[in-house]
A and B are shown apart, each in its own frame.
Chain A
């Protein structure tokens, strides 16, 4: 089992360009999350999903859109990238059937916007 995978691992964008980050999971988890991590800021929640076809805003949703068309995939889109979106992006999943509430994280995508 691959667990949680993220594509791509690295990307450099120019200001104004668009891109989509893909998070894929094979654990059949209902909940999926997108976070960004900046130096000294910890992880900040961008958007999350509690099931296929659902999305909700987190702490810092502006400038990002998400879609959860299939249970196993959670896409994060940047329509017009800005230098302030330079960050490391982490996807995470959570199983709602268990009692641990543990999140499983992907390896991250390092994005630089110039």
Chain B
């Protein structure tokens, strides 16, 4: 089974609302990253949080990491139509980077 599991699998919210996605993983990690994928395209890196960090911000993105619970969350504030995409967490274990199954986010106008 895969290292990372995102929750929920799909999320629909109104434009302007906040979107929260969660990721749980199984083994100890060096860091955790979040990526976005627009339909049919390659993935784009959003943000990285190291195993010794608890929270990180980048623009409208806020990421938290709880290594004791082996979980992370991605918050997108003031959502926009352009945020419609799939979001994946990726855990780095030495040289490997393992992805979860993703959350499909749909922003409603």
Contacts and interface: CB of A to CB of B under 8 A. Distances in A.
A74 interface: no
A107 B41 CA distance: 6
B48 interface: yes
B45 interface: yes
A56 interface: yes
Interface in B21-63: 30-31, 33, 35, 40-45, 48
A56 B93 CA distance: 14
B33 A45 contact: no
Given A40-B101, A94-B97, A105 B44 contact: yes
B96 A45 contact: yes
Contacts of A43: 43, 88, 99
Interface residues of A, number: 27
Binding site secondary structure of chain B = strand
B99 A35 contact: yes
A59 B2 contact: yes
B11 interface: no
Contacts of A100: 45, 48
B98 A45 contact: yes
B76 to A, nearest CB: 19
A102 B31 CA distance: 11
B44 A42 contact: no
B99 A42 contact: yes
B99 A44 contact: yes
Interface of B: 2, 4, 30-31, 33, 35, 40-45, 48, 88, 90, 92, 95-102
8 contacts: A31-B95, A33-B97, A42-B102, A43-B88, A58-B96, A92-B97, A103-B33, A108-B41
Given A102-B33, A102-B45, A108-B42, 10 more contacts: A35-B99, A42-B88, A42-B99, A45-B98, A100-B45, A101-B33, A102-B48, A105-B44, A107-B41, A108-B40
